[in-house]
Structure 1
Amino acid sequence: MTDYILDTVHRLQKKLRTKDPFEAARNLGIHVLYRNLNNLKGFYTLRCRERYIVINESLSQNEQKIVCAHELGHDRLHRHFAQYTPLQDLMIYDMTLKPEREANMFATEFLLSDSDILDNADKTVEQLSSFFGVDERYIQLKLQLMLRRV
């Protein structure tokens, strides 16, 4: 499944010519909404054949970008689940559930290219996290994905 997810990301980015998850969502006809969601980071839902990514408006811009990429992953990989219930994310870094792990892989690959990491190979995970504005767990996941391809 990992190879499928990575191929899906690369094909999508090539087709849309963007690494911006907001632009990708717009180009795919997905409505991106911002709401006060309390502790919920965001969710993906499908209503009347319209697709929605709803993001907590209180998150920082970097967090909103990560949530958007994560929910975009749900759209590409798990749309069938959203027909019955919204895919809600209290913790976007949750790796215990398979759909969440897959959406995190999608988001990681969407936001960080191999060359992004290789061009900054002199930095620690903490420095890369700060530099790219993503959680350290995304950097660690990206490194794991890169090692799988070696």
Structure 2
Amino acid sequence: MRRNIKLRVKNLVKKYNTTDPYKICQKLGIIVIYEDLGIVKGFCKSTMGMKIIMINSVFSTFAQKIILAHELGHAILHSDYDTAFMKDHFLNYSDILENEANKFAAELLINAYDNDNIEYCDYYCDEVSTDEFDRELLNRLREFRFSNKYLNI
């Protein structure tokens, strides 16, 4: 189930001329809805041929963008699978899907930076937000972007 996520993101960015997950969703016809989802950060579902991404409105705008990029990854990478069936019947399948969606979000959101300059991302992390949850999300995103973690599946 290995995918060249980096290439998929690169082609998507080239096609739509943006790394903004909001704009990409709009161009793909994916509906994005914001609601208080309790402890759930977000999810993606298909209903009657339409893709819908739900984002928890209680999170910061910064966190919502990362969550949206992650859910967009599910919408693009996993739309042709019965993920509910696979999660229930295959050990660690959920981890595989989540790792792929995390890698997709990392490639999309950190794509514009110099790939070899990790120090720039450290600086960027310091400048973006002082919120601890936001910084944790960005650091996890950096980890996925600059490692091959998702390949250990």
TM-score (norm 2): 0.76
Partner in structure 1 of residue 125 of structure 2: 129
- Cα offset for 1:141? 1.8
Contact kept in structure 2, 1:128 and 1:139, CA below 8 Å: no
113 and 123 in structure 1: CA distance in 2 versus 1, 3 angstrom threshold: closer
1:9 correspondence with 2:9: yes
TM superposition shift of 1:4: 1.3
Structure 1 residue 81: Cα displacement? 3.8
The percentage of aligned residue pairs carrying the same residue is 32
Q: Which amino acid in structure 2 is aligned with residue 109 of structure 1?
A: E
1:78 is matched with 78
State whether structure 2 residue 110 is matched by structure 1 residue 112: yes
The alignment's TM-score, normalised by the length of structure 1, stands at 0.77
Counterpart Cα distance in 2 of 1:56 and 1:104? 17
Tell me how many residue pairs correspond in the alignment.
135
* Mapped partners of 1:80, 1:3: distance in 2: 14
Partner amino acid, structure 2, of 1:19: T
For structure 1, the residue ranges without an aligned partner over 5 or more in a row are 88-95
Q: What residue is the counterpart of 1:97 in the other structure?
A: 95
Name the Cα RMSD after superposition: 2.7
Task: Call closer, same or farther: CA 1:2–1:13 in 2, change over 3 Å.
Answer: farther
Q: How many Å separate the matches in 2 of 1:20 and 1:123?
A: 18
Partner of 1:22: 22
- Rounded to whole Å, the distance in 2 between the matches of 1:6 and 1:132 is 24
Residue 128 of structure 1 deviates from its aligned partner by: 3.9
Asked whether the 8 Å contact 2:121–2:142 carries over to 1, the reply is no
Return the alpha-carbon distance in structure 2 between the equivalents of residues 5 and 123 of structure 1.
20
* Change in CA separation of 1:2 and 1:132 when aligned onto 2, cut-off 3 Å: farther
The gaps in structure 2 that reach 5 residues or longer are: 88-93, 130-136
Task: Answer yes or no: is the 8 Å Cα contact 1:35–1:55 preserved in 2.
Answer: yes
Aligned residue for 1:105, secondary structure, equals helix
SS in 2 for 1:54: strand
1:62 corresponds in structure 2 to 62
